[in-house]
């Protein structure tokens, strides 16, 4: 999203007379942030009467559902803060900023008297828990490109890149990161292969790093968001330290905030180096925790998703269905969306046209059977077993205090009520308080089968022995369809 700069004075004294900050959207209240982040697709309504081949396409609309949660509000506030604070030390109306930019292109950069105002934070959680979706929703509230022409009756022609998001290369190499940066910048500017092509043939990593730093400063990039940082765990000798030192240099010497996003295994990158640990949690570590079955947050997610049924006979959300949904997803947001989509596809194709526990169990044991080992480990809460699935490993106990954070005061009920505001004719249920009728998840010892599978050296063999794997590939053939 591109826009022409429209300046609005900020109520924060440190932000005054800075066009890079005043061109950003206004600072949002918690309620405004929730409204901006939320996305509730069109209610199914009359679409339930459409032919089933059409409804099978409508179901994919569930993938776009975003129900704001307290962690989303915290994340929006953190992004809002680092974007603005990072620009405090890079005010283009001050001569010192341009002197600093000039030194970056010379061999005298170490002589520059530059005080960085950049901060950072880290975003961690299970794979599929919703980190990237939440971050993309927050970043979408900011125009990525802002074009400046005049500021305070003075000519100020400049292109500002408010944020840039890229993935850490799978091999943890600096050269891969530089190429990812050039590609992301070209995409943001809408100029395909402008910088990627220019530096593709450059063999020197030092030159690419210098060009990356210069471009980041020239375009006044508000913040760099580095996703999939857990890839550094697989970096070659020295690769991890080189990458982390490079990030620290961007923050200290260039003044650009860097945000780290990754699975729980990313925490190990910072736990043994105090400087990197301090940088990783500048504004805190935001942990997308796996919710328990009786968490109000999980209840709200389930209720939001349950309203989107394209089967001809929508079913009520019963305690039994709530229990089955948690059983087969263990609170992972992506698994919930997949189960709802695949469950409806099966119900429509098999001519059942309603959702029930049996449908979800069938889909979980067939279409989602590859997730069984991971779900079994999540259910067991066995740390030893979770080590086999690196992305499932929770943060180390010694970092729990650093991970903790106080939830915003905006209530679960207020966030849930957004659905009726944004989808006026929706029949989605809204629960103002934590549900009175909740099911307590069983203790690990009460699930011997899960423990046995989790501790088995070959989870797939254990699943097969328990009869959890279905090998019939013709489940949607006519012989399996119930009569209408």
Residues 15 and 143 in one domain: yes
Residues 383 and 243 in one domain: no
Per-residue pLDDT of the chain (484 residues; tens, 9 = 90+): 678 999 999 999 999 999 999 999 999 999 999 999 999 999 898 999 999 999 999 999 999 999 999 999 999 999 999 999 999 989 999 888 888 777 776 655 555 566 777 788 888 888 888 899 999 999 999 999 999 999 999 999 999 999 999 988 887 788 888 889 999 999 999 988 788 877 765 557 778 888 888 888 889 999 999 998 888 766 654 567 777 777 877 887 788 888 989 887 776 676 554 454 455 456 677 888 888 999 999 999 999 999 999 999 999 999 999 999 999 999 999 999 999 999 999 999 999 999 999 999 999 999 998 888 888 888 877 766 666 665 665 554 434 444 444 445 566 777 777 777 776 655 555 554 444 444 444 444 444 556 666 666 676 676 667 666 555 544 444 544 444 4
In a domain, 31, yes or no: yes
In a domain, 428, yes or no: no
In a domain, 318, yes or no: yes
Residues 283 and 303 in one domain: no
Residues 248 and 388 in one domain: no
Residues 339 and 245 in one domain: no
pTM across the whole model? 0.78
Residues 345 and 225 in one domain: no
Residues 156 and 60 in one domain: yes
In a domain, 410, yes or no: no
In a domain, 306, yes or no: yes
- For residue 480, the model assigns a pLDDT of 45
Per the structure, the complete domain to which residue 302 belongs is given by 296-404+435-480
Total domain count, the chain: 2
Q: What torsion do the CA atoms of 153, 159, 161, 167 make, to the nearest 10 degrees?
A: -170
Q: What is the CATH number of the domain that holds 157?
A: 3.40.50.300
Residues 145 and 180 in one domain: yes
Name the residue with tokens 């947050």: 297
Please say which residue of 237, 254, 288 terminates a domain.
288
Residues 329 and 284 in one domain: no
Find all residues with CB under 8 Å of 425, minimum gap 6, and list them: 43, 45
Find all residues with CB under 8 Å of 478, minimum gap 6, and list them: none
- For residue 224, the model assigns a pLDDT of 92
Q: How many CB atoms lie within 10 A of CB 422?
A: 12
Residues 253 and 364 in one domain: no
In a domain, 395, yes or no: yes
- For residue 230, the model assigns a pLDDT of 81
Please state the φ and ψ torsions of residue 68, each to the nearest 5 degrees: -60, 140
Find all residues with CB under 8 Å of 462, minimum gap 6, and list them: 452, 453, 456
Residues 86 and 16 in one domain: yes
- For residue 7, the model assigns a pLDDT of 95
Please say which residue of 235, 268, 288 terminates a domain.
288
In a domain, 419, yes or no: no
Residues 338 and 278 in one domain: no
Please say which residue of 238, 257, 288 terminates a domain.
288
Three-class SS of the chain: CEEECCCCCCCCHHHCCCHHHHCCCCCCCHHHHHHHHCECCCCCHHHHHCCHHHHHHHHHHHHHCECCCHHHHHHHHHHHHHHHHHHHCCCCCCHHHHHHHHHCCCCCHHHCCCCCCCCEEEEEECCCCCHHHHHHHHHCCCCCEEEEEEECCEEEEEEEECCEEEECCCCCCHHHHHHHHHHHHHHHHCCCCHHHHHHCCCCCHHHHHHHHHHHHHHCCCCCEEEECHHHHHHCCCCHHHHHHHHHHHHHHHHCCCEEEEECHHHHHHHHCCHHHHHHHCCCCEEEECCCCCCCHHHHHHHHHHHCCCCCCCCCCCCHHHHHHHHHCCCCCHHHHHHHHHHHHHHHHHCCCCCCCHHHHHHHHHHCCHHHHHHHHHHHHCCHHHHCCCHHHCCCCHHHHHHHCCCCCCCCHHHHHHHHHHHCCCCCCCCCCCCCCCCCCCCCHHHCHHHHHHHHCCCHHHHHHHCCCCCCCCCCCCHHHCCCC
What's the CA gap between 184 and 166, in Å, rounded?
Answer: 6
In a domain, 281, yes or no: yes
């Amino acid at each position: 999203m591109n826009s022409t700069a429209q300046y609005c004075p900020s109520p924060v004294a440190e932000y005054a007379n800075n066009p890079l900050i005043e061109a950003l959207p206004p600072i949002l209240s918690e309620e405004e942030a929730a409204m901006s982040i939320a996305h509730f697709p069109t209610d199914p309504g009359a679409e339930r009467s459409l032919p089933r081949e059409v409804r099978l396409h409508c179901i994919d609309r569930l993938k776009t559902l975003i129900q704001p949660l307290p962690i989303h509000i915290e994340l929006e506030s953190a992004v809002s803060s680092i974007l603005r604070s990072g620009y405090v030390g890079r005010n283009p109306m001050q001569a010192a900023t341009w002197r600093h930019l000039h030194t970056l292109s010379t061999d005298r950069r170490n002589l520059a008297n530059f005080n960085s105002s950049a901060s950072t934070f880290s975003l961690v959680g299970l794979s599929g828990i919703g980190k990237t979706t939440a971050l993309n929703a927050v970043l979408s509230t900011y125009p990525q490109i802002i074009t400046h022409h005049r500021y305070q009756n003075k000519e100020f022609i400049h292109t500002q890149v408010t944020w840039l998001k890229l993935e850490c290369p799978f091999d943890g190499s600096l050269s891969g990161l530089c190429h990812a940066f050039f590609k992301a910048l070209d995409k943001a500017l809408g100029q395909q292969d402008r910088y990627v092509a220019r530096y593709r043939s450059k063999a020197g990593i030092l030159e690419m790093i210098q060009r990356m730093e210069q471009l980041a400063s020239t375009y006044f990039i508000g913040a760099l968001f580095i996703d999939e940082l857990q890839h550094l765990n697989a970096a070659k000798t020295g690769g991890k330290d080189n990458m982390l030192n490079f990030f620290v240099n961007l923050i200290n010497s260039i003044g650009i905030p860097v945000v780290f996003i990754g699975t729980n295994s990313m925490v190990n990158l910072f736990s043994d180096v105090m400087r990197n640990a301090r940088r990783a949690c500048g504004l805190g570590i935001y942990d997308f925790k796996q919710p328990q079955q009786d968490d109000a947050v999980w209840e709200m997610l389930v209720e939001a998703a349950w309203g989107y049924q394209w089967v001809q006979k929508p079913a009520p959300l019963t305690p039994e269905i709530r229990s089955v949904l948690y059983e087969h997803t263990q609170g992972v947001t992506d698994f919930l969306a997949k189960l709802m989509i695949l469950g409806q596809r099966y119900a429509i194709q098999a001519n059942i046209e309603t959702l029930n526990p049996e449908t979800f169990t069938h889909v979980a044991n067939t279409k989602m059977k590859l997730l069984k080992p991971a779900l079994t480990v999540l259910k067991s809460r066995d740390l030893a077993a979770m080590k086999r699935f690196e992305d499932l490993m929770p943060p180390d106990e010694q970092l729990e205090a650093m991970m903790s954070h106080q939830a915003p005061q905006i209530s679960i009920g207020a966030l849930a009520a957004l659905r009726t505001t944004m989808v006026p004719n929706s029949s989605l249920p809204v629960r103002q308080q934590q549900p009175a009728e909740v099911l307590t998840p069983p203790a690990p010892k009460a699930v011997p089968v899960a423990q046995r599978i989790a501790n088995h050296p070959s989870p797939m063999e254990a699943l097969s022995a328990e009869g959890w794997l279905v090998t019939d590939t013709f489940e949607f053939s006519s012989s399996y369809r119930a009569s209408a």
